[in-house]
Structure 1
Amino acid sequence: MDSIPTIQLANDHTAIETLLEIQRNDPKKKKLRSKEFVIDDGKMTWRSWTMREQIYKKKNNGLSTQARGLFTTTVGSQHVVAVRGYDKFFNVLEVESTQWPDLMSKTRGPYEVTAKENGCIIFITALSKTKLVVTSKHSLPDPQDDPTAHGGVGYRWMIKHLESVSKTEADLASWIYDKKLTLVAELCDDQFEEHVLAYNEKESGLYLHGINYNTTLLHTLPSATVQQVAEHFGFHRTEFVKLETMEQVRKLSDEIEETGEFQGRPIEGVVIRCKRDEKDFFFKIKNDHYLLFREYREITKALLDVDKDTNQVSVKADVKPRCEYEKSIYYVSWVRERIVDHPEWFQDYKKNKGIIDVRERFERFWQTADLKQLKGDPVCGIAQAKR
């Protein structure tokens, strides 16, 4: 804890001014956009930056930072970073830099493989030595503990975690403030919002998985240090393993593809942290089982129509979802029928409730039922099947 260095941060004024210039010259917001939030009882203004997803994939995209999750403000006449997420990182095989030959030849270990928890990202930083600010990727809640906002729920969980180890907001704030850090955590709380994988009451809360310095160039702390901080302040730890070679990473990737698990539990995937050109570099390995379950969710939301006034549930007749997975073709037919004969399962689906229950019902059907029970030809109900 005390050994974490306070580093000399880069002068980020020019980099942030470059973002502002791009925005001024990009009225159609093809590259990026930003939004201002007034905080600290009107004393400060923070600007949240949102870059277009496809821009990150371009080698020379013109951005002065590759941060995904960035808030900036001004101190005097200088622009500074207030909140700093990770650099945007990609799945294996998704871009040139994450092809296996490129990873083999251009990255350096050790390779820290961390579990990718299945929730929404939360940032925690210090406004002063006594006050913390908790945000989602692009938004600040108002009030800070707003129970309907991701950042607000994150703040409430943070207070619970601190209380569990007899600490206060000021204890964490004073530690963050001096070092100018952003804590990066995953909010996993099915009572607030379901995603794809289930978290019971004991597993719910904030999983601390990163600590970044507040500067435009990514400078992140090792996973072992992150775990120590999590334990000290009462957060859930994010599990990781350290591998020495990319060959070991690839073997692990094959195991995840086969089992859908990491260290004995279902996961969304894993994030690998290493060095490239002597800088911090991340890439991820997605779990195909998870991607299938996520496709179920997106298919259901595409097909589902819920009347805002009456809450009546129906099927959008003119929608034909696109399926990447063969099993999803049958899910389309099954879920169309269930929306009709069991509308109560779907009344809160678009509020991210009931996602796991519906999926598990289909999985039980898949294991025990005759697919001929499905009406008509399943292929007729989809736009295209790629697999």
Structure 2
Amino acid sequence: MTFTPLPPRYDTDEALSSLATALMASTQIPQSKGKGKRSTYTVFDTAHQLTGWKFNEFDYNKESIVLPIRARGFFTEENRIAVRGYDKFFNVGEVSTTQLQWLSENTSGPYELTLKENGCIIFISGLADGSIVVCSKHSTGYRPDLERNHALAGQKALEAQLAASGKSVKELALQLHTLNVTAVAELCDDAFEEHVLEYKSEELGLYLHGLNFNTIEFQTYPIDLIAEFAAAWGFIPTKFITKTDFSELFRFLEECAETGSYEGRAVEGFVIRAKAHGADHFWKYKFEEPYLMYRQWREITKGYLQQSKKPLSITLLIKKSHKHKRVSAQYLIFIIPELERDPALRDGFLQGHGIIELRNRFLTHMGQSGIQLANQEGSDADLTAELDRLSIEHARNTGTSDLQIVTKYLIIPVATVGCGKTTTALTLTKLFPWGHIQNDNLSSPAASKLVKGALSLLQTHPAVVVDRNNHMCRERAQLFGDFENFKEQFFPAKEYRSKGQLVEFKYICLNFISGNPHDQDLWSTTEKRVVERGDNHQSIRLSVTGQDQLHMIMKGFINRFQPLNPKRKPDSAFDEVVDLRVGSDSSLENTVTVLNRLAKIFPELVPAVPARAAIEAAFGKSLTYVPEKKKNVKEKREARVQYYAISVPQEVEARVEALLRKQSATNPAGLHFYDSLKKHDRVQNSFHVTLSHVAHCKGKNAAGKVIFDGYKRRFGPAVDAFMKENSEKTFPHNYKFALGYHADIQLRRVVFDGRLMCVEVALVGGYKTGKGKQFQLQCGNACPHITVGTLDNSVKPVMSNMLLTDLMKWEVDNTVEENGKQVQIYEFEDEVLRGCEIVASF
């Protein structure tokens, strides 16, 4: 292939002199922003000295900071530009000039895509006397302070390549000097330094992907001419693809991103080269997965090798990871024995060798590809229990002699009113020295009192029965989350480790309803039991509630009941499920069933099932139980509204999805995030716009109090009327009721930042049902909004308001990027939801 050079390009002496002055001035800036750093290097095996210039990494992406030059890899000889790297370029969506809308409106094809090779960047230039200059990103020549010199490794590879091609180093240097260009290549050599992608022996070498003119303005050769130059001088040409249409370009990129590969080969992504207003414009499209996961594995392996304390705390290592915590813990457990058996592998890893080999062993062990493992995980929010389990598994598998596993058992019913859970619990705790805590004995609001009380009992008992209905998934999830969150408070890891112990929790479910919760026989049995016990209960007392109210309470539990599903979260956290039945005189047999199962599965907890006579005696005593305390059940409930809101119909979800799908051709990130929320059941079950919350009245928020009090005056009569009409009823937490008013809202835009997605809205106005006269709606939040969904339980819906508030500030500063957050925005076109109910919530 014949290389056809372009005419050389040069800057004027005046321009170069001005640049030199600006570069020197940047080194004198007192503050860190925009401050330049100047270093002098001697070109390898010559007397030439070059000056290297660099700036703080974060200054390159701040449009408010004006740098003398935006090249990364920039060296001068006196006032001449000797080496010129690329202007720093960014991933799609990372800065304003790589936002999809900006790119679609401001760039033109052809769009040249080069594979993003995974090595270390090398710059190659020539001097007038035929000396070759080979640089890494920020240095060149011999460096006694470096253990691994990338520039010299690049020079060695270059010399070998030229020798194999029958060319001399001086010839190349003179060619580059004549053309006034810097050759930009990627050194991919796993023997020198491993990165993320694996390169086979025949794939090692310098991959040429740039020929930049040594000019102040970034100007570069087209990729086809770079390929010609690579062939002429023995470089490995970087593969490239050309797309003429912007939409076609992003369809191609999205298809490749699904597998993290191109033509069956794993790649890290693409660099896209185009024109923006006539100038060269580069950006990246990086495949996040599986490469983020691979890098994470590399770092946690180093963390393991560098930690001095044993036994291993997998939890502490994994907590540093941002994603893929579960599979990363599995990776750690697999590779630790591999490293312990192979000291050479262990030592080599810290020197940058064996990284890929170790990773491939794990992938083979799992029988899945990296992209499959990266895509199979959902939320990591409830992971603490799993990490502890893996730590314990590791301790057992490796036979760690100084680590004793202390197992504590939490027995958790899933039931409705009248199933016999308390009778069963009392019988069990009369047979074994287990703890028993009843939610009904706790003063309201119980909140975390139940969990803290159970953990307190667990300190002196091997097992505790946590006596609550737990009839809804969120209640079970709350228990699992709180037990892990408060575990350290009651079982300090440091204290137990000092004794050579590690505490694990085992969760046992007593599933009282494995069939239809609306079954008539179930209703007959439970209703009869509750009526017969009369007032022998802490809160549900027949003489106070009356039979009608009693039925309403019981049916409320049944209607809200969510059956156990051990294959899905949160119920998958149970270590064992014991299915029970509810019928006449079933509590005794349920006790026997529990004991038989626990004796089989957890013999350390139930070494032997007691004799039948002993079980019956314990059961008889449990039937004489009288509650220690009874709650003060008010006949009338004071109206205490927690917040006022606009209830938004479910159609808003369809409108959001339609908008994201419509704009996915130019900006697919929002649709990908929304689809992920749906896949992992993270989209809200219902939607509303909070108008004012009682929390807005707290502290010095005078405006918030004014708004809340204003709604209290307007809606007070409707609240009073509702409470008067329903004075004998008991309502669940967060119960909402209509106030006889409606509102219209305008959907402005969908906003997300990788943690949550919300819809910013405008409040058009409110009006009384059936009457057209509108009144102005005010909002206690800075930005009225609807939360669509959040990444996991650690991201609270209230953070939507924080995101939108920050967005308003960023937009004033003409940026939508701050502190590493990347915010994506999708505008609606004049969409209004009319007739939405205004509600109050307890």
TM-score where L is the length of structure 2: 0.41
Distance 1:235 1:147 in 2: 26
Q: Shift in Å at residue 374 of structure 1?
A: 3.3
User: Residue 390 of structure 2 aligns with which residue?
Assistant: 374
Alpha-carbon spacing, 1:177–1:337, altered in 2? closer, same or farther (3 Å): same
Contact 1:85–1:184 (Cα < 8 Å) also in 2: yes
Distance 1:240 1:121 in 2: 18
Alpha-carbon spacing, 1:170–1:42, altered in 2? closer, same or farther (3 Å): closer
Q: Shift in Å at residue 40 of structure 1?
A: 6.9
Residue 299 of structure 1 aligns to a residue in which SS? helix
1:119 alignment partner AA: G
Q: Shift in Å at residue 110 of structure 1?
A: 0.7
Residue 21 of structure 1 aligns to a residue in which SS? helix
User: Residue 52 of structure 1 aligns with which residue?
Assistant: 56
1:8 and 2:10 aligned: yes
My pick for the range that moved more, 313-322 or 191-200, is: 313-322
User: Residue 32 of structure 1 aligns with which residue?
Assistant: 36
Q: CA RMSD in A?
A: 3.1
Distance 2:56 2:161 in 1: 34
Alpha-carbon spacing, 1:254–1:336, altered in 2? closer, same or farther (3 Å): same
My pick for the range that moved more, 5-14 or 360-369, is: 360-369
Contact 1:313–1:339 (Cα < 8 Å) also in 2: no
Distance 1:72 1:238 in 2: 27
1:222 and 2:222 aligned: yes
1:323 and 2:308 aligned: no
Where do 1:354-369 residues align within 5 Å? 354-367=354-367
My pick for the range that moved more, 349-358 or 205-214, is: 349-358
User: Residue 125 of structure 1 aligns with which residue?
Assistant: 125
User: Residue 108 of structure 1 aligns with which residue?
Assistant: 108
Q: Shift in Å at residue 205 of structure 1?
A: 0.6
User: Residue 138 of structure 1 aligns with which residue?
Assistant: 138
1:298 alignment partner AA: E
Aligned length: 372
Distance 1:113 1:40 in 2: 34
User: Residue 286 of structure 2 aligns with which residue?
Assistant: 286
Alpha-carbon spacing, 1:325–1:26, altered in 2? closer, same or farther (3 Å): same
My pick for the range that moved more, 336-345 or 266-275, is: 336-345
Per-residue CA distance 1:274-310 (angstroms, 9 max, x = gap) = 0112111100111122222122222323343178xxx
User: Residue 298 of structure 1 aligns with which residue?
Assistant: 299
Contact 1:135–1:141 (Cα < 8 Å) also in 2: yes
Distance 1:316 1:124 in 2: 46
Residue 248 of structure 1 aligns to a residue in which SS? helix
Segments of structure 2 that go 5 or more residues without pairing to the other structure are 374-385, 395-480, 485-754, 756-790, 793-842
Distance 1:3 1:45 in 2: 28
User: Residue 162 of structure 1 aligns with which residue?
Assistant: 162
Contact 1:37–1:140 (Cα < 8 Å) also in 2: yes
Distance 2:223 2:70 in 1: 21
Alpha-carbon spacing, 1:356–1:255, altered in 2? closer, same or farther (3 Å): same
Contact 2:206–2:236 (Cα < 8 Å) also in 1: yes
User: Residue 421 of structure 2 aligns with which residue?
Assistant: none
Q: Shift in Å at residue 377 of structure 1?
A: 9.2
Q: Shift in Å at residue 180 of structure 1?
A: 1.5
Q: Shift in Å at residue 243 of structure 1?
A: 0.7
User: Residue 332 of structure 1 aligns with which residue?
Assistant: 329
Q: Shift in Å at residue 227 of structure 1?
A: 0.4
1:199 and 2:203 aligned: no
Q: Shift in Å at residue 202 of structure 1?
A: 0.9
Distance 1:192 1:364 in 2: 25
Distance 1:114 1:300 in 2: 31
Q: Shift in Å at residue 12 of structure 1?
A: 2.3
Residue 42 of structure 2 aligns to a residue in which SS? strand
Alpha-carbon spacing, 1:357–1:110, altered in 2? closer, same or farther (3 Å): same
User: Residue 92 of structure 2 aligns with which residue?
Assistant: 92
Segments of structure 1 that go 5 or more residues without pairing to the other structure are none
Distance 2:34 2:8 in 1: 37
User: Residue 350 of structure 2 aligns with which residue?
Assistant: 350
Distance 1:149 1:329 in 2: 36
Alpha-carbon spacing, 1:2–1:9, altered in 2? closer, same or farther (3 Å): farther
My pick for the range that moved more, 104-113 or 316-325, is: 316-325
Where do 1:46-85 residues align within 5 Å? 46-74=50-78, 79-85=79-85
Per-residue CA distance 1:91-129 (angstroms, 9 max, x = gap) = 111112111111111111110000111000000001234
Per-residue CA distance 1:170-191 (angstroms, 9 max, x = gap) = 2211111112210000000011
Alpha-carbon spacing, 1:159–1:39, altered in 2? closer, same or farther (3 Å): closer
Q: Shift in Å at residue 200 of structure 1?
A: 1.3
Q: Shift in Å at residue 159 of structure 1?
A: 1.3
Residue 201 of structure 2 aligns to a residue in which SS? coil
Contact 2:313–2:391 (Cα < 8 Å) also in 1: no
Alpha-carbon spacing, 1:363–1:279, altered in 2? closer, same or farther (3 Å): same
Residue 122 of structure 2 aligns to a residue in which SS? strand
Q: Shift in Å at residue 147 of structure 1?
A: 9.9
Residue 137 of structure 1 aligns to a residue in which SS? coil
TM-score where L is the length of structure 1: 0.86
2:9 alignment partner AA: I
User: Residue 232 of structure 2 aligns with which residue?
Assistant: 232
Q: Which has the higher contact order (CA 8 A, sep 6+)?
A: 1
1:5 alignment partner AA: P
